[in-house]
Structure 1
């Protein structure tokens, strides 16, 4: 494993639907510490985030940039941000569970998708990882559906929180180390 890609809302920061206000960004417990540990280890870090609020007219690209900037300020810099601004009916290749953002993030970080672990809170995150040839760790939240957890238990890994997800990602990296 050479890179870890994170979903933003519900994974790195508490989910505020269609957040347009940087002041509402609140990291999940331990996020800064685990990210700093990954940086010390020399791993590439990226964010892959569906943001259909843009397509729906609920947030502007400038507001999204401000919120993402606040995430960077609170959690440290990421090597790549991949954002899908499309709606579910747009049929794009980037909106998770499609693999587009995972593939783009891997390319931006100079690694193969198979060298990435995607950590997210819903089935679309796991689906995007698997479709791209990456590994996945699901961190369920109250919005995660039971069938998404069951699918992740079969095809990926499931963690109780972000710290455990990162520990599982690191263990995956040790399993495939030369």
Structure 2
């Protein structure tokens, strides 16, 4: 279909923004407040380049905090909205955001309605398929960009190409650089600006 669009579906934590790190407690968690948002270097530049090349941009993120009883659902949506606004201020338009709030095990104080096995939680394809339908994307010309195996798995399950943001020193990610298909990504770079260049040259 000639009216389909090319799209880039983006993971959130570890791809667009840094995790929240507490050196005293030794904890690393996802941002749950707008004040905690720290966009990685190269993200605005990379996204503007992809946008200028005609790609529609969207976000797909696993956020099980409400199911686990760690944060309220409203905190997830507030933080996502703030991120979209921050990127807009950098000239980047995020056209849609899909969130999976589920977790198969849940947690103490969590919303029991969210404690379930679902098809939207990456590496399931649900969020990506929803974005393909919502934005009219051609899966064969679209990408899922993330920083973990679940992002590549979701891309494969939804029929999208897979891009990996790989930081040096993350030894647990090495199999995703040189491992067997289907975990082998289609493109790898150390930051989103470099990954955008690889995608645009492919």
TM-score range normalised by the length of the shorter chain: 0.7 to 0.9
Query: In the alignment, is the contact (CA less than 8 A) between 2:123 and 2:150 conserved in 1?
Result: yes
Q: CA deviation at 1:163?
A: 1.1
Task: Say whether 1:101 aligns with 2:127.
Answer: yes
Structure 2 length normalisation: TM-score?
A: 0.77
CA spacing shift, 1:162–1:155, aligned 2, 3 Å: closer
Which structure has the greater CA radius of gyration? Answer: 2
Q: Which has the higher helix share?
A: 1
The alignment yields a C-alpha RMSD, in angstroms, of: 2.0
What are the Cα deviations for residues 115-158 of structure 1, in whole angstroms up to 9, with x where unaligned?
21111000000000011110001112438533333337735322
Q: What is the aligned counterpart of 2:99 among 64, 74, 83?
A: 83
Segments of structure 2 that go 5 or more residues without pairing to the other structure are 21-28, 106-115
What is the SS of the residue equivalent to 2:94? coil
1:130 alignment counterpart: 156
1:67 alignment counterpart: 79
In the aligned structure 1, how far is the partner of 2:59 from the partner of 2:37? 15
In the aligned structure 2, how far is the partner of 1:143 from the partner of 1:61? 33
Q: What is the aligned counterpart of 1:7 among 2, 6, 11?
A: 11
In the aligned structure 2, how far is the partner of 1:55 from the partner of 1:2? 33
In the aligned structure 2, how far is the partner of 1:40 from the partner of 1:147? 32
In the aligned structure 2, how far is the partner of 1:121 from the partner of 1:155? 10
Q: How many residues align?
A: 172
CA spacing shift, 1:118–1:144, aligned 2, 3 Å: farther
Structure 1 length normalisation: TM-score?
A: 0.87
What is the SS of the residue equivalent to 1:145? helix
What is the SS of the residue equivalent to 1:55? helix
